Amino acid sequence: MRRFFTLSGASFLMIPSIALAEKVSDPARSWDNHFSLYFWIAVVFWLFVTVLLVYFSFRYKRKKGMGDGAYIEGNLLLELIWTIVPLVIVLLLGVQTWAVYKEYRAVPKDVYEVNIEGFMWGWNVTYPEGIKTTNELRVPVGQPVKVNLTSKDVLHAFFIPEYRVQEEAIPGRTTYFWFRPSRPGETRAYCTEFCGNGHSLMLAKVIAMEKEEFNSWLRKHGEEMVLLTPVEKGKKLFVDLGCLGCHSITGEKSSGPSLKGIYGKERHLSDGRVVKADEEYLEHSLETPNWDVVKGYTPIMPPYKLSTDDEHAIVEYLKTL
Ligand code: CUA
């Protein structure tokens, strides 16, 4: 699948990319028009002021032998112009902003609806068919997609720059946004609310697929999840949940201890206790990581509220390392 856009960094550098970006969803189109309007109004006024500034600097430069300039008390016509013109522009922009906002909030009827839950540090996606993915959102082309968003722990925000959508993920509350992918392709979603150590790792793939391809993926993925052995499933979860961000499986130290050969090892904890890394210890460490912090490390790992099955799968995988 080809990538169909690139992302430029600072927002002012996004001007050319916005002007050139292919429009991939309806709100995206309105957003880009909206942005262009603001941008070109700003350009016109900037040029107007700058050109006059430079011209006047030369034209009215004080020369030798000149007296004082004329004393001007006011000019009614000019004052009316510079009051009314900006007023009209600001009102028009206000109305247009309201219209774009309404479009972003008004979800079409025939939406494909998925749920996304942010957690420290990743995104769990649940599809209406009951299947789940982590850090990967697949959507059908041509149908509007509504995302119901929430968070398991702290504030996050889900941002897909190329679809021009962004929304807050708030624990205990469900927010939403929608977009309409118009052609297949892959892009990225980012967390845009600083949420701790792994904030910059909170990335997700957003993959738009042709309807048929999407449906067969749904079917295949659903079957795969059922057929995986616990170890395979555990490995998948381990990767998907972003565990590798802090725990190597090769013996290297990272912000968390390496998990190579962890099963059955003696663990020296920061409070002086020595425990054996058995199943119970591993499960306990997933649920309440900060009880048994290994000596030399800081308690930064978030607790994972996994299903008994998933937890078991991860422990089975850890045993194989
Ligand atoms: Cu989640 Cu930043």
DSSP letter, residue 263 = T
C-alpha 84 – ligand 1 centre gap (Å): 44
Beta strands 203-209; 136-140: pairing state: parallel
Q: Copy the structure tokens of residue 75.
A: 């000019």
Taking the CA atoms of residue 200, residue 201, residue 206 and residue 207 in that order, the dihedral angle to the nearest 10 degrees is 140
- Can you tell me which atom of ligand 1 is nearest the CA of 156? 1
Give the number of the atom of ligand 1 that is nearest the alpha carbon of residue 196. 2
Rounded to a whole number of angstroms, the distance between the first and last alpha carbons of the chain is 33
pLDDT value for 285: 84
pLDDT in tens, 9-67: 334 334 434 444 444 447 888 898 899 999 999 999 999 999 999 999 999 888 888 88
- pLDDT tens digit sequence for 91-117: 999 999 998 998 899 888 889 999 999
Helix (H, G, I), strand (E, B) or coil at 247: coil
Distance CA 238, CA 319 (A): 13
Interatomic CA distance for residues 294 and 272, integer angstroms: 9
Mean pLDDT of the chain: 84
Cα 293 from Cα 273, distance rounded (Å) = 10
How many whole angstroms from 166 Cα to the centroid of ligand 1? 13
Give the pLDDT confidence of 281-316 residue by residue, as tens digits: 888 888 888 888 888 888 888 777 777 778 888 888
| C-alpha to C-alpha distance for 256 and 121, rounded to whole angstroms | 14
Distance 115 CA to ligand 1 centre (A): 17
User: According to the model, what pLDDT value does residue 1 have?
Assistant: 37
What pLDDT is recorded for position 307? 74
More confident residue, 240 or 24: 240
Ligand 1 in contact with 242 (CB < 6 A)? no
User: DSSP 3-state assignment of 265?
Assistant: coil
Report which of residues 255 and 35 the model is more confident about: 35
